Amino acid sequence: MNDALYSKHFKLEKISNNSFAAIAKESGGAVANAGFVDLGDQVIVFDTFNTQQASADLKHIAEKITNQAVTWVVNSHWHGDHIRGNQTFKDTTIISSHITYSKIRDNHPSRFSKQKNDIQGLKDYIQSLKNQLNQTNDSSIQHQIDTLNELKDSLPTLELVVPNQTFNNEITFQGTKRSAKLFTLGGGHSFCDAMLYIPDEKVIFMGDLLFVNCHPTFFEESDPMKWSNILKVVERLEIEVAVPGHGPTGTKEDISKIIYYISEITSIAETSNKDEEIEIPEFFKEWNSPEIYQQSINRLRELSNP
């Protein structure tokens, strides 16, 4: 790959003839994964990262590779690390489910405003991490510092751009060479999670319904049973490459692993004592972000005992 197609924010991976995954680098401004697909006469970008610096690189590279302008941008769900780069594409059609649109519209203005008004607070926090780094030399702290510096750099010019088109259940994009189906089966990880499936390429972009080799995040809005049921439906599709919201590209086997993970962690949360520290099962021990495991146990306890 030549320098024109390089980004410090993500690693570009060609996953089929016409589909590309943009896998977030640990120290960049991407935070979550994204990607794009060329349908012949249309280019669809899936998710826009955590900063406009990262999304600007994504737009540049997508247009360089496909030799045409981006036609559509998908927001898989409302969480910031998937939509904060929308402003790069404000002259493009940005599409999401209606629920995702309403959550972006209602929740992010105050979040953006609060962060933009407290850049000094973020700088102070970054400095405290630098002090920690000097004492521990922990590479994970350096990654955190680098990512937060990207966030800091994004804030002065950050603006909220909401989707300008919505869909309810599914919509098909018919290109001159291939088609893509954008669909949602409701909420699992978030209030509503959308996926982009390219049947001819046997590729699916799954947002945060899929995590590969890293612990999935559960929020107050997450519904483990619905999440698992959605994945069981997706498992029946013809898939060779599945692009997760976090972690490296995966296969159908990785979808099965998350179904198993949800089953295991839900059972542990329901049967363990409150505040009990749970050791990570052997099957998931090598996954990244191990600190999320106990957080998820605690969150699921709250969900099962509201």
Mean of pLDDT values over 27-52: 98
Segment (H or E) for 183: strand 179-184
Are 96 and 114 found together in one domain?
A: no
Are 252 and 288 found together in one domain?
A: yes
Rg of the chain, C-alpha, whole Å: 19
Contact present, 66 and 38 (Cβ < 8 Å): yes
Angle, helix 119-136 to helix 98-116, in steps of 10 degrees = 80
- Looking from the CA of 301 toward its CB, the CA atoms found within 13 Å total 16
Of the ranges 54-68, 202-216, 264-278, 279-293, which one carries the lowest mean pLDDT score? 264-278
Span 226-269, pLDDT tens digits:
999 999 999 999 999 999 999 999 999 999 999 999 999 999 98
CA-closest candidate to residue 284, choices 249, 244, 239, 254? 254
Are 100 and 110 found together in one domain?
A: no
Are 112 and 234 found together in one domain?
A: no
Are 72 and 123 found together in one domain?
A: no
**End-of-domain residue from the set 154, 177, 193:** 154
pLDDT of residue 301: 87
Mean of pLDDT values over 121-129: 97
pLDDT above 90 (res 4) = no
Write the CB contacts of 221 (distance below 8 Å, at least 6 apart in sequence): 187, 190, 191
Contact present, 214 and 246 (Cβ < 8 Å): yes
The better pLDDT of the pair 277, 200 is held by 200
Mean pLDDT of the chain: 95
Are 255 and 282 found together in one domain?
A: yes
Q: What is the pTM of this model?
A: 0.96
Mean of pLDDT values over 107-131: 97
Residues 297, 300: Cα–Cα separation, whole Å: 5
Query: Residue 12: phi, psi to the nearest 5?
Result: -85, 130
Are 81 and 126 found together in one domain?
A: no
Are 28 and 81 found together in one domain?
A: yes
Query: Does residue 124 come out as left (phi exceeding 0), alpha (psi in the -120 to 50 range) or beta?
Result: alpha
Are 128 and 252 found together in one domain?
A: no
Are 171 and 296 found together in one domain?
A: yes
Burial 65-103 (b: 16+ CB within 10 A, else e): bbeeebbbbbbbbbbbbbbbbbbbbeebebbbbebbbbb
Are 290 and 240 found together in one domain?
A: yes
Of the ranges 118-122, 207-211, 291-295, which one carries the lowest mean pLDDT score? 291-295
Mean of pLDDT values over 169-194: 98
Residues 141, 246: Cα–Cα separation, whole Å: 19
pLDDT of residue 278: 87
**End-of-domain residue from the set 119, 137, 154:** 154
The number of domains in the chain is 2
Residues 27, 44: Cα–Cα separation, whole Å: 26
Mean of pLDDT values over 163-167: 98
Span 183-235, pLDDT tens digits:
999 999 999 999 999 999 999 999 999 999 999 999 999 999 999 999 999 99
Domain that residue 16 falls in: 3-104+163-304
CA-closest candidate to residue 168, choices 110, 101, 234, 214? 101
pLDDT above 80 (res 275) = no
**End-of-domain residue from the set 129, 154, 179:** 154
| CATH code, 29 | 3.60.15.10
Task: Check residue 180 and report its DSSP letter.
Answer: E
Mean of pLDDT values over 111-123: 97
Are 194 and 268 found together in one domain?
A: yes
